[in-house]
Structure 1
Amino acid sequence: MGTIKIRPVALKDNKALAAVIREVLIEMGVPKVGTAYEDKELDIMFETYEGARKEYFVVEEDEKIIGGAGIAQLEKGSDEICELQKMYFLPEARGKGLGHQMMNTCLDFARTQGFTKCYLETMPYMKDARKLYAKVGFTYLDAPMGDTGHYSCQAWMIKDL
């Protein structure tokens, strides 16, 4: 294992980050419609997460991006609810505790921004991701919240911060 660092996204990361996210979505068999795959933001993650109360973090190993996750206010939701967004890791990043570290980084950031709850959407068959979310205190919801545009995501979770 090389040198691993979690840091805020930079403009120079856009192309590599978009490739990582799309690669993981394809690997996981995620539909290309109604999910993050078709989000316009994928190619401009740095610009998307500029501004108040939002941040995207990348994980890099020896200066290669191997994953990331972000926090932003839930679209058309309460000012107190943020969303954990686009948390994806390449296979070489998995099983090293990076998901847990990234989750803590994102949730700590959310707390500093005054959010009191964190929402997320995922796919029912993403068992490892759902297991991690439950381990850090996310619980299941019966219906989606806000307006993410990810109508193909059929598992919704929330956590008190």
Structure 2
Amino acid sequence: MGTIKIRKIKPEDNQVIAKVIREVLVEMGVPKVGTVFEDEALDMMYETYTSKNAAYFVVEEDGIVIGGAGIARLEHGSSDTCELQKMYFLPIARGKGIGYEMINICLDHAKEQGFTKCYLETMPYMKAARKLYKKVGFKDLDGPVGDTGHFSCQAWMIKDLY
């Protein structure tokens, strides 16, 4: 394993993180409609996550972006609820504890911003991701919260931050 660095997104990361996320979505067989794949924000991640209370972190290995994760207020949700967003890693990043570390960085940021709950949406068949979310304290929900526009995501989870 090379040198791993986690940092906040920079403008020059926009194209590469969009490419990484789309590659992982295709690899995982995620529908292109009703998911992050068609989000306009995907091509302007830096600009999207410079808003109040939001942050996006990328992970590099030897200077190459291999994944990322973000946190932002949940669209059309309670003001005390944030959403863990766009957390995807290339295969070379998996199994190294990076996902666990990234979630905790995002949740720490959420707490600093005053959020008391964190929501996420995923696919039911993304078993490794769901196992990781449960490990850090996320609980399954029976339906969606807020309105992310990701109607193809059929697994919803939430975590109390305090």
TM-score by length of 1: 0.99
- Residue identity matched to 1:141: L
> Following superposition of structure 1 onto structure 2, how do residues 1-161 of structure 1 map, counting pairs within 5 Å?
1-161=1-161
- Could you report, residue by residue, the CA deviation over 1:81-116 in whole angstroms, capped at 9, with x for unpaired residues? 000000000000000000000011000000000000
**Amino acid in structure 2 at the alignment position of 1:151:** F
Number of positions where the alignment pairs a residue of Structure 1 with one of Structure 2: 161
In 2, the alpha carbon distance for the partners of 1:129 and 1:31 equals: 17
Deviations 1:37-76 (A, max 9, x none): 0001111000010121000000001110000000000000
> Matched residues, percent identical?
71
Q: Structure 2: state its 5+ residue gaps.
A: none
Distance 1:22 1:16 in 2: 10
How far, CA to CA, are the matches of 1:51 and 1:32 in structure 2? 26
Alignment RMSD (CA, Å): 0.4
Which ranges of 4 or more aligned residues in structure 1 deviate by more than 2 Å? none
Cα deviation digits, residues 11-46 of structure 1 (max 9, x gap): 010010000000000000000000000001111000
1:105-158 per-position Cα deviation (integer Å, ceiling 9, x unaligned): 000000000000000000000000000000000000001000100000000000
Matched AA of 2:4: I
Distance 2:117 2:149 in 1: 20
